[in-house]
Amino acid sequence: MIAIAGCTGDGNGDGTGTADGNSGDGGNGDDGGQSIQFLTMGVGDNIKQFFEENNAAFEEEYGVNVEFTSVTWDNARQTVNNRVDGGQAPDVSRWPARWIPQLVGKGALEPVDDLMDGEFGEKFAEGVANGTMYNGSHYGVPWAASNKCLYYNKDVFEAAGLDPENPSLDTWQDMLSAAKTITESGEVSVPALGLAGADAIETGSQYYHYHWSYGADLVDDEGMPVVNSDGAAEALSFYADLHLEHGVTQASPLSSTRQDIRQLFENGDLGMVIGHVYTGLNITESQEKGEVDFEYGIAQVPKGPEGRYSLFTIDTLGILSQSEHKDIARDLIRFYFDEERRFQYSKQKGFLPVVKAVGEREYFSESKNWGPFVEAGQYARARPKLSNFSQFNDRMVQAIQEALADQKSPQKALDDAQSDLEDAMS
Amino acid sequence: MSLAEEYSKTDGESRLSQSIAHLKQNRRAYFLIAPAAVFLLAVVGYPILETFRLSLYRSPADSTIETFVGLQHYVEIVNSDIFYRLLWQTGRWVLVGVAGKTLLGLLIAVHLKNDIQGRKFFRTAFLIPWGIPYAISAVVFRWIEHPQFGYLNAVLLKLGVIDQGIGILGNPDIAWLGVVVADVWIGTPFMAIIFLAGLQSIPQDLYEAAAIDGAERWHQFRYITLPQLKSVILMATLLSTIWTFVSFDVIWTMTGGGPISTTATLVIHIYQVGLQNGNLGRGAAYSVIGFLFLLLFAIVYLRVYTRGGDEL
């Protein structure tokens, strides 16, 4: 019996997703009548059939009933926590790696070192595998990964007198220079650059590229906040000035979520935007349908004075401690990590392959859309794993908004955030 | 014992004996309503008590261990700047929202009572906003007010009033107005229907007598309609105040409480603190404070309401 509830589109809220493996070491195929609860998030139309077919195949192969549920990203964290707190945890659940500490603190996640330290774990690139670690143990298998690059609209660049084939977007200053040229050219009616500033989780995700590239960090080695360094203030100044001083962004960054600016770019109504691989995939699909008619290019996220970073997000597939079917749960994970299944998932869903063999396939390595993102893997950086990351991120978003609204200087906004975060985390 | 004390004691005793007698006389009635009372206590009383209990504990998101902290959450809340900002923003949201819904509802009801052409159509049409799920209406308004894709900006740009889109929901000074407009649009039909029902129960001969005496329309409205509608207006605004106070979906869908928390109300903050950030104890303390505010408001309001001899 497969039930899909609360399907959404392409996963928002900064989630990600993936899989591979072999058909494990003989599951409990004779557990007639047993059920396993498999919870995931953001199953949209592009991946619904994949799960339906594969859950049915698993049921047939193992003689186990898969109770499959998908919830929206908005409700993801609360749903899993409610079920854990109510003693009704699913057996297997997708779970963003940055939220691992919160469930581990409750004793709700099962370590899966037996999987990850063995042959199975060799499927993954080291950086990806490490992304599921916390306190020395793996608390999930890497299910999905995403990172970001800088998209630019070639038609806009050309109209503004810039070279669309050699866009020179290596540094933030290069990006600003191109944005100014576009804005001042008088030949282009669309904003040069998309800037996210709305009260949403992803505003932090867009800004952290700048923060890190100026040598700033979010937390120190002890997990305490360090958000108001000189570098951080420079980064936030640069970010806010893109709108306040240079006027190269869309009209109202404080109204714009990451999805808004992505949508603008995908419609051809924006010069540049930092986005996931699926931005390119969406445009390609729209081009094939004749819905849009513009050319785009993909560059690496620009570098700052202290380096280049591409925000890397990993979601895991974890086994909940309350599960009474942990062996079958492991079988389900191995089943979904079959290489061909992982290929189909990554291809259909539009997330980076987490399995090395899948990433090496021509489909990804030779693709105009995928190639730059595979390259961006070397600049990957994940958000810190904090049990209260949501609260941490909310406070950072507030500081970003205060600077963008010109209510506080970037230094003051970050100093206040630092003070509040110290209180919250002490 | 002074005379006053003796009187008061006697008075107290007689009231107690009256109550006991009343209980004895109505034993059967109380027995019959007992199941409903127990049910109510279970589904209403228990959550309230549990929320209060939870507000005395610290319960971090990453732990199942609750630590008793007494009134610490309350002390920290009343000593924080954000609490007073939330009170102001909640008060503003409720006051402007309820006033808007009441005035517009009254205006529409008065017009719908008159024998205008297409009255049946308008009565039905005015109900539509109330029939649409709040979240959907909120999404519609979010798009209407969107700086890049919104109709509002498109119209203003076409008319040449502005030269680039205004981000209403992204402007810390006016975002709350953008949300209130949506809430008023959603809530006005309910008020209009309630007021219309009230208007139709006012005897027509009062207006006829006033017209014979030479009273103009405004005076008829001022001295007949408003006094006759008083109880309906008070009841509708009480309900609307409670609903607006606890309203979540419109704000959350349109702004998420932003920008810079300028559209956050007490209820939005409770959700953010308690459920999003997993700080259940602090969230529960905010909930208790909100509950006490509403309770106090309802008591004062009903005192005023019944002062004139009106019965509920």
* Cβ contact A256–B64 (<8 Å): no
User: Is residue B33, in this structure, part of any structural domain at all?
Assistant: no
Minimum Cα–Cα distance from B178: chain A residue: A255
- Token pair 């998932």 is at which residue? A345
Q: Which residue of A has its CA nearest to B275?
A: A78
At B288 the pLDDT is 96
**CA angle, residues B80, B84, B87, in degrees to nearest 5:** 140
Question: How many angstroms separate the Cα of B239 from the Cα of each of A318, B243, B298?
Answer: 46, 6, 9
d(CA A357, CA A345): 14
Does a structural domain hold residue B26? no
State the sign of the Cα–Cα–Cα–Cα dihedral B199, B204, B209, B215.
positive
Q: What percent of chain B has pLDDT over 90?
A: 49
Distance CA A152, CA B35 (A): 68
Phi, psi at B116, each rounded to 5° = -90, 160
Q: Inspect the interface and report whether the beta carbons of B61 and A105 lie closer than 8 Å.
A: yes
Is B5 part of a structural domain of the chain?
A: no
Q: Is there a domain that residue B193 lies in?
A: yes
- Give the model's confidence band at B157: pLDDT under 50 very low, under 70 low, under 90 confident, else very high: confident
Spell out which residues of chain B touch residue A106, defining contact as CB-CB under 8 Å.
Answer: 62-64
For B62, which of A198, A387, A398 is closest by C-beta distance?
Answer: A387
Q: What is the pLDDT of residue B1?
A: 53
Band (pLDDT 50/70/90 cuts) for residue A209 is very high
Nearest to A89, CA basis, from A265, A321, A309: A321
CA proximity to A113, closest of A148, A87, A137: A137
Query: What mean pLDDT do residues A380-385 have?
Result: 87
- Under a CB-based contact definition with an 8 Å cutoff, are residues B175 and A283 in contact? no
Report the pLDDT value the prediction gives residue B11, as an integer from 0 to 100. 60
Segment A22-51 mean pLDDT = 69
Amino acid at B88: W
Confidence at residue A3, expressed as pLDDT on a 0 to 100 scale: 38
Orientation angle between helical segments B27-40 and B3-25, nearest 10 degrees: 90
Tell me A122's DSSP state: G
Tell me whether residues B275 and A78 touch, CB distance under 8 A: yes
* Chain segment A70-92, per-residue pLDDT in tens: 998 777 888 898 899 889 999 99
What phi and psi values does residue A7 have, to the nearest 5 degrees? Answer: -65, 145
Helix (H, G, I), strand (E, B) or coil at A353: coil
What does the mean pLDDT of chain A come to? 88
Instruction: State how beta strands A92-96 and A35-41 pair.
Output: parallel
Q: Is A164 exposed, middle or buried (0-12, 13-18, 19+ CB in 10 A)?
A: middle
Distance CA A342, CA A47 (A): 12
The answer to whether A199 contacts B259, with C-beta atoms less than 8 Å apart, is yes
Chain B residue with minimal CA distance to A198?
A: B259
Q: Which of A148, A110, A140 is nearest to A382 (CA)?
A: A148
Asked whether residue B61 is assigned to any structural domain, the reply reads no
**What pLDDT sits at residue A44?**
76
Domains of chain A: 35-146+314-379 (3.40.190.10), 149-311+384-425 (3.40.190.10)
Give CA–CA dist A39/A62, Å, rounded: 18
Which CA distances in Å does A142 have to A21, A98, A147, A315, A347? 12, 12, 14, 6, 16
Distances (CA, A) of B160 to A3, B144, B163: 52, 18, 7
A4: DSSP letter: -
Contacts with B258 from chain A: Cβ below 8 Å: 198-200, 254, 397, 401
> What span, in angstroms and rounded, lies between the C-alpha atoms of B107 and A279?
49
Q: How confident is the model at residue B8 (pLDDT cuts 50, 70, 90)?
A: low
**Can you spell out the DSSP letters for chain B?**
--HHHHHHHHHHHHHHHHHHHHHHHTHHHHHHHHHHHHHHIIIIIHHHHHHHHHTTEE--TT-S--EE-TTHHHHHHHTSHHHHHHHHHHHHHHHHHHHHHHHHHHHHHHHHHS--TTHHHHHHHTTHHHHS-HHHHHHHHHHHT-TTT-HHHHHHHHTTS-SS---GGG-TTTHHHHHHHHHHHHHHHHHHHHHHHHHHTS-HHHHHHHHHTT--HHHHIIIIIHHHHHHHHHHHHHHHHHHHHH--HHHHHHTTT-STTTT--HHHHHIIIIIIS--HHHHHHHHHHHHHHHHHHHHHHHHHHHHTT---
CB contact under 8 A, A388 and B164: no
Nearest CB to B148 within list A103, A106, A251: A251
Length of chain A: 426
Class of residue B180 by CB neighbours under 10 A (exposed 0-12, middle 13-18, buried 19+): buried
pLDDT band for A5, please (50, 70, 90 cuts): very low
pLDDT higher than 70, residue A21: no
Q: Tell me what the mean pLDDT of segment A87-112 comes to.
A: 93
Q: What is the DSSP string of A222-286?
A: TS-B---SHHHHHHHHHHHHHHHTS--B-S-GGG--HHHHHHHHHTT--SEEEE-HHHHHHHHHH
Among positive and negative, which fits the CA dihedral A398, A403, A408, A411?
A: positive
- A393-418: average pLDDT: 96
Could you tell me how far CA A15 lies from the centroid of its own chain? 5
- C-alpha distance from B217 to closest chain A C-alpha (Å): 46
Question: By percentage, how much of chain A surpasses pLDDT 90?
Answer: 65
In whole angstroms, what is the distance from residue A249 CA to residue A243 CA?
6
More confident residue, A3 or A382: A382
Choose the weakest-confidence range: A21-30, A205-214, B102-111.
Answer: A21-30
What is the tally of structural domains in chain B? 1
User: What average pLDDT does range B283-302 have in this prediction?
Assistant: 92
Model confidence at A95, pLDDT cuts 50, 70, 90, reads: very high
pLDDT value of residue B91 = 96
- For residue A30, pLDDT beyond 80: no
User: pLDDT at residue B167 above 80?
Assistant: yes
Q: Round to whole Å and give the CA distance between A318 and A90.
A: 10
The reply to whether B23 falls in a domain is no
Q: Are β-strands A313-319 and A92-96 bridged in parallel, bridged antiparallel, or unpaired?
A: antiparallel
The pLDDT of A154-168, averaged and rounded, is: 96
Cβ-based interface (< 8 Å): residues of A facing B: 77-78, 81, 85, 101-107, 197-200, 250-256, 260, 264, 269, 387-388, 390-391, 394, 397-398, 401-402, 405, 407
Structure tokens at A257: 């979520």
Q: What is the mean pLDDT of residues A405-422?
A: 96
Q: What number of residues does chain B have?
A: 312
Q: Greater confidence, A46 or A98? A: A98
Share of chain B above pLDDT 70, in %: 92
- Backbone CA torsion sign across B74, B75, B80, B83: positive
Residue B55's pLDDT band, with cuts at 50, 70 and 90, is very high
**In the prediction, which pLDDT does B311 show?**
45
Compute the radius of gyration of chain B from its Cα atoms.
25
Tell me the two tokens of residue B250: 């419109």
3-class secondary structure, A19: coil
User: Is a pLDDT exceeding 80 seen at residue A25?
Assistant: no
pLDDT at A20 over 50: no
CA atoms of A254 and B159, how far apart (whole Å): 25
Distance from CA of A378 to the nearest CA of B (A): 32
Q: B44 lies in a domain?
A: no
Is residue B60 reached through a cis peptide bond, with omega within 30 degrees of 0 on the bond before it?
no
B164, B167, B272: residue with CB nearest A255 = B167
Q: Position B44: which residue type?
A: V
DSSP assignment of A159-180: HTT--SSS---SBHHHHHHHHH
Q: Residue B15: pLDDT band by 50, 70, 90 thresholds? A: confident
Q: How far is CA B74 from the centre of its chain?
A: 24
Q: What tokens does B254 get?
A: 């349109």
- For A285-324, the pLDDT digits (tens) are 899 999 999 999 999 999 999 999 999 889 999 999 999 9
pLDDT of residue A249: 96
DSSP state of A415: H
**The domain that contains B91 carries what CATH number?**
1.10.3720.10
Where are any strands of DSSP class E within A2-112?
35-41, 65-71, 92-96
Structure tokens at B312: 């509920």
- For residue B66, being part of any structural domain is answered with no
Average pLDDT for A335-345: 94
pLDDT reported for residue B153:
87
A198/chain B closest Cα distance in angstroms: 6
Torsion of CA A185, A186, A192, A196, to 10 degrees: 140
The Cα of B58 is separated from the nearest Cα of chain A by a number of Å equal to: 12
Instruction: Work out the number of other CB atoms within 10 angstroms of the CB of residue A419.
Output: 13
Å between B91 CA and nearest CA of chain A: 22
What's the gap between Cα B207 and its chain centre? 33
Show residues of chain A in contact with B164, CB under 8 Å: 251
SS (H, E, C) B154-191: HHHHHCCCCCCCCCHHHCCCCHHHHHHHHHHHHHHHHH
Nearest Cα neighbor of A37 from A115, A97, A91 is: A91
Q: What percent of chain A lies above the pLDDT cut of 70?
A: 92
Of the partner residues B164, B166, B277, the one whose CB lies closest to the CB of residue A388 = B277
| Residue-level pLDDT at A348 | 84
In chain A, which residue's Cα lies nearest the Cα of B264? A199
With bands split at pLDDT 50, 70 and 90, how would you rate the model's confidence at B2? low
Domain hosting residue B104, numbered range = 71-310
- CA–CA separation, B254 and A255 (whole Å): 10
Per-residue pLDDT, A228: 97
Q: Which helix (H) or strand (E) holds A146?
A: strand A141-146
Q: Report the largest interatomic distance among the alpha carbons of chain A, rounded to a whole angstrom.
A: 71
Residues of A in contact with B257 (CB under 8 A): 199
Please report the pLDDT score of residue A57 as a whole number: 96
